[in-house]
Amino acid sequence: MKVKAFAAALAALAVSGAVEAADMGDVETPIRLSLNNWTGQRLSTYIAGGMLAEAGYKVEYVEADLNALYEQIATGEVHAMMEIWTTSDPEDYFSVRDAGRVEELGDLGLDARNGVVYPPYVAQMCPGLPDWEALRDCAGIFSADGNGTRGRYLAYPESWGSPGADRIRALDLPFDVVAAESEAAMIEEFQQAYKDKRPVIATFWAPHWAMSSYALQFVRLPKPEPACYSDPSWGPNPKAAGDCDFARGGVVKASWSGFKERWPAAHEILRNYELSIWDQQPLIGLVDVRGETVQGAARGWLAVNRAKWMPAVEEATGKGRS
């Protein structure tokens, strides 16, 4: 009798699981995912797309124009984006999110960090590092010829919406800010600086293979607090807000507000989708250092790590349940 009771319980569980699986929705219409201009985001996107394809959806990948992307998501021209760094203060994203025109789908799971970085040999040229105040006295070593009075600071590409340049200005440091053309241009700058043992200072981020390959060090800026971003009287510069370090974390996913209604199971998959720094960072190295394609690196990760991501697909669709 106990065996029969157990079998009945299993059957009930199976039925209840099938009922709880979300509806697939419009499987004929492709889900359009944005591809942005940094390697980690593209990896996150192709992995998410692979999960959706496994569930039974059609997926299209759209090369994004960051100047128009959030409006395109709000209107449903693009359906979802997998990696939005809210610590980079993307005003256009906050605007459509707060108006309810896009839905935030939760944290991606990256222990992300933006910051001001320098190669380790620079510490010998600028005594006092990693403390930020040391940069006041040694800014000249970062000038074009190494003998100027103002340094050259490499910031993120303008289209990324990064506050990196704002940090330098808010701290009233004697640097001229130059925006990089792309992620690849930033890497090239680090490579050449290492080759020449030339000082370089920039905004950069983790996870990224270059953080470990070049042993990049973070400058220790004033500890971030909410008042830093709104109250000029807070912090070392009484004339400016933002005179502190970047907030940690804050990498989220978002979708068109009609996504859940059109593709309920896909919506659940993307909400549950997470990717750790330990998964993403080696993949970035495969692409940027070893020349693997983003699609190939993502497919390889999906093949090797089914136990990590398949439960999210099964939970949403009932796929694989008996």
Rounded CA-CA distance 248/295 in Å is 28
For CA atoms 41, 70, 90, 157, give the dihedral sign: positive
Rounded CA-CA distance 293/217 in Å is 28
As beta bridge partners, residue 217 has 118
Return the ∠ at Cα 212 (arms to 170 and 156), rounded to 5°: 35
* Residue 40, both tokens: 């980690």
Using N-to-C axis directions, what is the helix angle for 306-317 and 264-272, rounded to 10°? Answer: 150
Residue 207: cis peptide before it, omega within 30 degrees of 0: yes
Rounded CA-CA distance 170/239 in Å is 8
Rounded CA-CA distance 84/250 in Å is 8
Count of beta carbons in the 10 Å neighbourhood of residue 232: 15
Tell me 297's DSSP state.
Answer: H
* Residue 59, both tokens: 């997926």
* Residue 172, both tokens: 């009233």
Whether the Cβ atoms of residue 280 and residue 43 lie closer than 8 Å to each other: yes
Specify the pLDDT at position 17: 44
Q: How far is CA 112 from the centre of its chain?
A: 7
* Residue 86, both tokens: 């809210």
Rounded CA-CA distance 206/186 in Å is 14
Tens-binned pLDDT, residue by residue, of the chain (322 aa): 333 343 444 344 444 444 467 899 999 999 999 999 899 999 999 999 999 999 999 999 999 988 899 999 999 999 999 999 887 767 899 999 999 999 999 999 987 888 999 999 999 999 999 999 999 999 999 998 888 899 999 999 888 876 678 889 999 999 999 999 999 999 999 999 999 999 999 999 988 889 888 999 999 999 999 899 899 999 999 999 999 998 876 899 999 999 999 999 999 999 999 999 889 989 999 999 899 999 999 999 999 999 999 999 999 998 765 4
Whether the Cβ atoms of residue 273 and residue 253 lie closer than 8 Å to each other: yes
- Cα torsion through 117, 292, 276, 301, rounded to 10: -170
How far is the CA of 249 from the CAs of 51, 127, 151, 178, in angstroms? 24, 30, 29, 25
The structure's pTM equals 0.78
Rounded CA-CA distance 282/285 in Å is 5
Specify the pLDDT at position 308: 95
Direct distance between the N- and C-terminal alpha carbons of the chain, in angstroms, rounded to an integer: 22
Tell me 304's DSSP state.
Answer: H
